[in-house]
Every structure is written in structure tokens, then in C-alpha cells.
Amino acid sequence: MELRINSWEAYQETYRKSVEQPENFWDEIAKTFSWRKPYDKVLEWNFDAPDVKWFLNGKVNITENCLDRHLKQRGNKLALIWEPNDPKEKFVRLTYRELYEKVCQFGNALKAQGIGKGDRVVIYMPMIPELAIAVLACARIGAVHSVVFAGFSANAMSDRINDAQAKMVITADGLNRGAKQVPLKRVVNEALHHCPSVERVIVYDCLGWLPQMEAGRDIWWHDAIEGMGRECPAEEMDSEDLLFILYTSGSTGKPKGVVHTHGGYMVYTAYSFQNVFQYGESDIYWCTADVGWITGHSYIVYGPLLSGATTMMFEGVPTYPDAGRFWQVCDKHGVNQFYTAPTAIRALMAYGEDHVLSYSLDSLKVLGTVGEPINEEAWRWYHIHVGKERCPIVDTWWQTETGGVMIGGLGEHSPMKPAYAGYPLPGIQPVLLDQEGKEISENGVEGYLCIKFPWPSMLRTTYGDHERCRVTYFAHYKNHYFTGDGAKRDENGMYRIIGRVDDVINVSGHRFGTAEIEEAINSDGQVVESAVVGYPHDIKGQGIYAYVVCESLPTDKEVARAEIVEAVVEQIGKIAKPEKIQFVSGLPKTRSGKIMRRILRKVAEGEPDKLGDTSTLLDPGVVDEIVEGAL
């Protein structure tokens, strides 16, 4: 099952083949997996509909490839290491055999609770092994999981449950997060007032709390698995059957349910995992993301397990009990590949070098970063203090929609340049387009980043709304998938991601649509309208800056701000709190009523002298007021 590329020359050769003969290329890789029934065609596609199918008519179950396939050779190898929030608490280690049995057992429990192939299950869980077990158990029985990050509010969760028409929610009483504990079941209870599709709730007892349980609907995890067998045959799935839905923000208020399928997602997450991290058989790999985001799906659970790797899952936060926690955990478990986000690096940088210098970090071989552009300063800190200038940094650019890493290094085999993601992985064909949608073929240019050929783990649709998928990703430029990012390509063909060119803000590597935050702000009674933009933030990458129009200017601005923040926390969650709220008497609009965000962005960025042309504004006077009152 060796899929690894082991030199820069090999990369170039492989890349060339992957573009010249994509079907052959992916066929060779896909063949290394275990299929119940082989596919009869590698690829069928058109980007107009869009309609993309990989490994047609192949029958497969991704969990058979994550678990069963390894039992013979790796049954006693560690599949999962779980490190708790509290370093004094005992960690958990599960071998492939143990994980297999737990997944089977919980799969049987799901079936006993009425869940079957095609049913949607929402998972709202702490970062504990049971989260991975729940995800895999759904996939095993053919149910479609939709993990909702445990920081989202009841409102955000009920929207997602209703969109997916989920039949079940899997949750816990609460979770540990640094010095805090967060009630999860309470949030679920609130959400479910508005979710008639949910018939059952399974609750894992994580903290020993006694949340309110609704008779006939709610059942404890430990009761649900009681008496369940440790063998559960995997459901035979078509390659194109749904594996999961993961909601992500877009430019309208409503989150989109990005859909991934069994076959293609399996092939690409495994292939990209092994290559980007250059995982070796006895390595210990750690990705610090939460399984609530795509990074956790692809590179904590599926990619590593498909590859027979030992993957670590961490319940806590980088700064608890102190800012050395990541490095302590690396030393404690002998971590070889470490994958985190620029925002975490910047947060830790702010605590100084001492925390990282107290640990040896000898085991580290490859460092990864993901989620947002990494600034040079953070890159250097990571390279020097964490990697001791010995470890390559793989800066991985990808998206919820792409399922796996698209542009990024392959361990030590790729050239590295700070703040550059680098070159496309084999099989990935990025292009830069200009304003008119024309491909810019030379180097040393900037443009809209698009992909011109399908790859196995690309999104298939947005759940329940295929037209939205078409309009968002495939209608901007004919025959291209549009990423929403702007990028630069240097003289050597290396890519640097500049950032979003749509109304999406990237806060600490998490995506929020401005419309979604505006809707939340507008739900506050005093607010007439609002406009939200991103601005550069030292730690978070971007912060949220809101311009708010109230019926009358609030007499106590602090109170009014607190109310607005509360409205956002209620509608979306704490993660989407606006950092700055400026009260204004009006927003800069064109004569056709469109808000000119460019102006608001410049003011928020602290560059009011670079507003550009404001002559098309309905009321240019509001601009002066906005500039004067800038925060």
C-alpha cells in the first residue's frame, strides 16, 4: 500500500503523469484499496451541471478500508491515542482491533436505535475517542454523519439538523475546554425544540453530569451499547453514496451542506495524507484540529486510519494548563508529524519562546499548517523554535469543499518558501484566472484560484440544493471549480494564497459569511441594518468588524454592543463574536442600494486614505462620519 512519493524528481514525474492520464493515475491508486466490487469506470464528469462521479459502480465501505483491512497486519498497532484536556488525567490508547470492535459495537447500537443506510445523524460531541467512534459507526452502517462543531449555538445546530432532516443526534453531557466546562446536552435540548425530524438522542457521559433526558427520545451511550456485539458487517455502499455532510459558511446567511461520498473521498484523503506528511509505518501523527471541521474529518479520522497510521486526538487547548501544552504532548507521545493552524502558532508566540524551549521536540519530523495564510513571522517561529530548522513545514491549502489538501509540500521532498503553500498535489490542476475568466498561463502573476479538472474528493453537491452548488462553485467561470480565493504564482510556479475574494471572513482558520453574521446582528431589536467586514487581527488572522445602524444612536454604546454580541452568540456561537462594533447613521450604498464593502473594509483596515472612487455613492457624506468614528 505504498503510495508515497519519495523525491522531488518523483513528484515531477508523477505530477506529469497525473495530468496527462488522470484516469490511469487514479486507477492505479484506487486499486490499492479494498473494494467489495470493482468499479467499472474511473471518472465521469461535467462542470456545467455539475455532475462528477468517481469509481463508478464500485462497491465499497470506507470503514472497511479504515479498520478491517488493517486487522491482519496491524491489529495490535495503535490506531488512536487520545490525550485528555487535563494532563494529570490518563490518556487512552486504542489498537486497530480495539477501535474496530468499538466501532462495530456502536454501529450495532445505532441500528438497534433505528438508524439505517442513508439516515442523517448529527454529531455534537467533545474531542473524545467516542466522537471518532460515532463518525466511523455511522459510515459503517451507511448512515450519513454531519458533525456540528461543539462551539456552535442551539440555533446554528437546529438549522443544520433541519437542513439535513437528521433522525438522530449524538452528543455528550458536556465537554472540557481548558479550565472551562461547556454543557452540550443543554444546548441540544434547546435546539431540539425546533427539530421535529429527530427521533433519538444518544448521550455520552463525559463529565458525570445529570442533564435533562427526555423519556422515549434520549438514551445514554452506555445503555445503548449494552449487549451489542463487537462484529458489525459494513454496509455495502456505492462509491458515490453519501458519506457525510459538513456545513460551511458561504455568502448567504444559510450554511451550505457540503457533501462527500465514500469512494473518492477515501482514495484522496489517504493518498494526500501519506504524501503530505510522509507518514512512515511506526510514526505517531498528531493533528490539533477539531473533528467538527473538515481538517479533523480528513486528517484526524479518515486519512490516517485509511493509511494504517497512529493518529492522536487532543481534547484540550494549546494554552492549558500553560502555553507549553502542545510541546509537552509532542514529547510525551513522541509525535513525528504535527499539524496545526497559524492562529495557534501566533497565539503561542505571544507567550514567548520559553514554553517551547523547555521541551526537546526531538521526535518531530514534519510540521504542517492549515486554515489561513501563514505570515512569515509565524512561519519562522514555527520553523526555528518548533522544528529546530530541521523539519520541513508543509503549508497545506485546501477547503471543506475540496475534501483534502490541494496545494502543499510533500514532507521534505518539496521546495519550501515561507508563506507559500507551494505546488499542487498530483492529480490537482489549479489555474489562475483574470477578471474576464481568462486563464493566465505565465508565472509571476495573481488571479482567481480555480481548478480545471476534477479530483476524487471534490464536493458532489450541497445537500438538498444542487443549484446552490452550481451557482457558488461552477457558474463563475465555465468549466472551472471556483475556490473563492485569490492567489499569486511566483516565477517558479509556487502558489501563495492571498485570501478570500468573496464575502467570507476567515477568523482563526474558521469561515464565516458576512451575511450570516449580519443576520445575527440584525436579529437584535434595536438594529436596523448592519454590514460586516474582516480586518487584520494579530492572532486570529482576521477579526470581525461590524458597522451597525440602530433606530437611534444608542445612548450607552457599551450596553448596546453587549446586546449585539449576545445576539451573535445566540444565533451562531461564541466563535463568531464581532471584535469591533461601530455605530453609524447609515451605510455607504450605491444608487442601486448595494453596500460598498470595499470602503468599509478600507476603514476597518485602518486605511481611510485609500477608499478609491466614492462618486457613485448615494450619500458620500456617510463616509466621512464612518472614517471619523472608526475604531
Query: Which residues of the chain form contacts with ligand WT7 (CB under 6 A)?
Result: 248, 294-295, 370-373, 395-400, 421, 483-485, 497, 499-500, 506, 509, 511
Q: Give the shortest CB-483-to-ligand WT7 separation in angstroms.
A: 6
Write down the least CB distance from residue 388 to ligand WT7, Å: 22
Least separation, in Å, of the C-beta of 496 and ligand WT7? 8
CB of 509 to ligand WT7, least distance (A): 6
Whose Cβ is closer to ligand WT7: residue 61's or residue 483's?
Answer: 483
- 400 phi-psi bin (left φ>0, alpha ψ -120 to 50, beta other): alpha
Query: For residues 155 and 298, which CB has a smaller minimum distance to ligand WT7 in the complex?
Result: 298
**Letter for the amino acid at 73?**
Q
Of 556, 568, 574, which Cα lies nearest the Cα of 519? 568
Minimum Å gap between C-beta 395 and ligand WT7 is 5
Please, what is the minimum distance in Å from the beta carbon of residue 367 to ligand WT7? Answer: 13
Which 8-state DSSP code applies to residue 509?
T
CB of 233 to ligand WT7, least distance (A): 33
Place of cell 490508547: 93
Of 111 and 500, the one with the shorter C-beta distance to ligand WT7 is 500
In the complex with ligand WT7, the residue whose CB is nearer, 109 or 394, is: 394
The residue among 489 and 500 lying less far from ligand WT7, judged by its C-beta, is: 500
Least distance in angstroms from the C-beta of 74 to ligand WT7: 27
CA distance 316 to 15: 38
Cβ proximity to ligand WT7: between 270 and 548 the closer is 270
Q: What is the total residue count of the chain?
A: 631
Q: Which of 158, 150, 147 is nearest to 191 (CA)?
A: 158
Q: Which is nearer to ligand WT7, 61 or 343 (CB)?
A: 343
Q: What is the spatial distance between Cα 334 and Cα 507, in angstroms, rounded to a whole number?
A: 31
Would you list the DSSP string of 520-570?
HHHTSTTEEEEEEEEEEETTTEEEEEEEEEESS--SSHHHHHHHHHHHHHH
Angstrom CA distances, 439 to 431, 450, 452, 480, 494, stand at 7, 9, 10, 10, 16
Type of residue at 580: K
As measured in angstroms, the least distance from the Cβ of 614 to ligand WT7 is 28
- Residue among 237 and 301 whose Cβ is closer to ligand WT7: 301
- The span from the CA of 94 to the CA of 68, in Å, is 15
Which CB, 221 or 271, lies closer to ligand WT7? 271
For residue 465, CA distances in Å to 142, 148, 245 come to 21, 19, 13
DSSP state at residue 90? P
Is there a cis peptide before residue 321, judged by omega within 30 degrees of 0?
yes
How far is residue 580 from each of residues 461, 537, 598, measured CA to CA in Å?
35, 11, 17
